[in-house]
Amino acid sequence: MNTLFDKIWDSHVVQIVKDGPTQLYIDRLYCHEVTSPQAFDTLRDKGLKVFRPDHVYAMPDHNTPSDQQEVINDPVGRKQVDTLKQNCEEFGIKHFAMGTLDNGIIHVVGPEKGLSLPGMTIVCGDSHTSTHGAVGALAMGIGTSEVAQVLASQTILQSKPKSMRINIEGELQPGVTAKDIALYIMAQMTTSGATGYVVEYAGSTIRNLSMEGRLTLSNLSIEMGSRAGIIAPDEVTFEYLKEREYAPKGAEWDKAVAFWKTLKSDEDAVFDMEVTYRAEDIAPRITYGTNPGAGVAIDECIPELSTIPEAEQAGFMAQLKYMQFNPGEKLEGHPVDYVFLGACTNGRIEDFRAFASVVKGKKKAENVVAWLVPGSWLVRKQIIEEGIDKILEEAGFELRLPSCSACLAMNPDKVPAGKLSISTSNRNFVGRQGPGARTVLASPLTVAAAAVTGVITDVRKLM
């Protein structure tokens, strides 16, 4: 009667502290340049070594420029990237350096290299570590002090979260993607609706998602407040991971798959909470506010103030004031200034194929600045091998270099104050894409539609 979450958690328990947390063994620690420096300093201060350096992988991504990667002009960003390299050299950790073919966004590189595998416990000092749950792993973002714990002991102290299953049943309509599923769920449950839970995604719609779609959905789990998002591994997972660089090979592969097939919730498993949604109810989505749950279907209007609970009206109006929108306004047809395709949410090959399918034979709108940023060098290589770069070039777009880019204002790709960006990234917080920048979250298809029309557009009208 165990859930998939129970099975992974229980198999990694080292010890249970009486009246306290559980000591959990960690299979994989990912480090990037922003949250790891203090953790390494902690080890130095205590005279400790990294306990299992072969279980740790590091790469810079947040500060990496997307226009060139010869130099980082920002001194803070440059120091963070240099410090990561030095820490990896000192402690014997595998480092995928900026500008090398192994580099990219850590939550894109992990799965595509086969470093993230079913049944693993995976942590990183980054909230969107939940992405790796798409392969059937328990993947959680942790704080800097916890990164130091894992470096020193390959374990972490955690209180066991509750379990939730979100079922999506039915067939997605044309123009609807995994990104729209996630934005729909957040609008239904709010951005705190899964706080304290590990969410398992299930149902026929989820089983029919590609691995890229599952990675997008798991990536956004954290935006509902959940500790992690997880999807049971199946043939889609195995086909995706087979022959990946770090995945098991030969007889070890067969042995691994046999085990991975056991990683699913028992039929009689009981969850602390369970909800079901219908795929047919989901349309292409956009956000209007400053949290990912503040969104509507693209052909709907922003809610009227009278429909908002009185206790939430002040916050609702504050969001609209920042975004320069009004209650009851329809956003379809609203001009956009910037479009961003990329991030650990939508920087994979499938996302670029989707974007290209919309812009092929069309031209970029003159009023739009476009940043099309692959999530890794492997994704960029695939884009070129498939000729997608030529489609983008003919439509007036430039393919940039792998980076977190405009997902967050920690590198040169910042949206200017007051400008409106339609973005495939994961957060639309105040100033997330740059001080004063306004962000509308959407899928690669919807972002592509805006890129060629210059306004927020229902992609179904272009299909």
Q: Look at residue 1 and tell me whether its pLDDT is greater than 90.
A: no
Q: What is the dihedral of CA 77, 83, 84, 90, to 10 degrees?
A: 170
Which sign does the torsion angle of CA 220, 221, 226, 228 carry? negative
Quick one: which of 63, 9, 44, 258 has its CA closest to 148? Answer: 44
Q: Residue 336 and residue 439: Cα distance in Å, rounded?
A: 10
Helical residues (DSSP H) of 160-268, grouped into ranges: 178-189, 204-207, 211-219, 235-241, 251-260
Burial class (CB within 10 angstroms; exposed 0-12, middle 13-18, buried 19+) of 122: buried
Report residue 84 CA to chain centroid gap: 22
pLDDT digits (tens, 9 = 90+) for 99-134: 999 999 999 999 999 999 999 999 999 999 999 999
CA distances from 78 to 73, 375, 402, 444 (A): 7, 20, 17, 30
pLDDT digits (tens, 9 = 90+) for 255-313: 999 999 999 999 999 999 999 999 999 999 999 999 999 999 999 999 999 999 999 99
The tokens of 284 are what? 């292409």
- Report all structural domains of the chain as residue ranges with CATH numbers, in order of start: 4-274 (3.30.499.10), 285-461 (3.30.499.10)
Q: Look at residue 161 and tell me whether its pLDDT is greater than 90.
A: yes
Give the angle subtended at the CA of 448 by the CAs of 444 and 454, to the nearest 5°.
Answer: 140
The tokens of 128 are what? 């969107």
Q: Look at residue 433 and tell me whether its pLDDT is greater than 90.
A: yes
| Residue 455: band (very low, low, confident or very high) from pLDDT cuts 50, 70, 90 | very high
Q: Look at residue 415 and tell me whether its pLDDT is greater than 90.
A: yes
Cα-trace Rg, the chain: 21
Quick one: which of 442, 443, 446, 438 has its CA closest to 289? Answer: 438
Beta strands in 264-385 (DSSP E): 273-278, 285-287, 295-297, 338-341, 369-372
Burial class (CB within 10 angstroms; exposed 0-12, middle 13-18, buried 19+) of 254: exposed
Burial class (CB within 10 angstroms; exposed 0-12, middle 13-18, buried 19+) of 305: middle
CA distances from 444 to 349, 350, 356 (A): 11, 9, 9
- What pTM does this model have? 0.97
Q: Residue 164 and residue 148: Cα distance in Å, rounded?
A: 29
Q: Decide: helix, strand or coil at residue 168.
A: strand
CB 271 within 8 A of CB 4: no
CB 273 within 8 A of CB 162: yes
**Confidence at residue 314, expressed as pLDDT on a 0 to 100 scale:** 98
Residue with tokens 């439509």: 395
Residue 280: HSE in the Cβ half-sphere, 13 Å Cα cutoff: 1
**Confidence at residue 60, expressed as pLDDT on a 0 to 100 scale:** 98
> pLDDT above 70 covers what percent of the chain?
100
pLDDT digits (tens, 9 = 90+) for 179-213: 999 999 999 999 999 999 999 999 999 999 999 99
Q: Look at residue 420 and tell me whether its pLDDT is greater than 90.
A: yes
| Residue 438: band (very low, low, confident or very high) from pLDDT cuts 50, 70, 90 | very high
Q: Residue 155 and residue 149: Cα distance in Å, rounded?
A: 7
CB 307 within 8 A of CB 388: no
Q: Tell me the pairing of strands 28-31 and 121-124.
A: parallel
Give the angle subtended at the CA of 215 by the CAs of 80 and 97, to the nearest 5°.
Answer: 25
**If you average pLDDT over every residue of the chain, what do you get?**
97
CA distances from 15 to 40, 106, 174, 296 (A): 25, 30, 49, 45
pLDDT digits (tens, 9 = 90+) for 18-40: 889 999 999 999 999 999 999 99
Number of residues that this document lists for the chain: 463
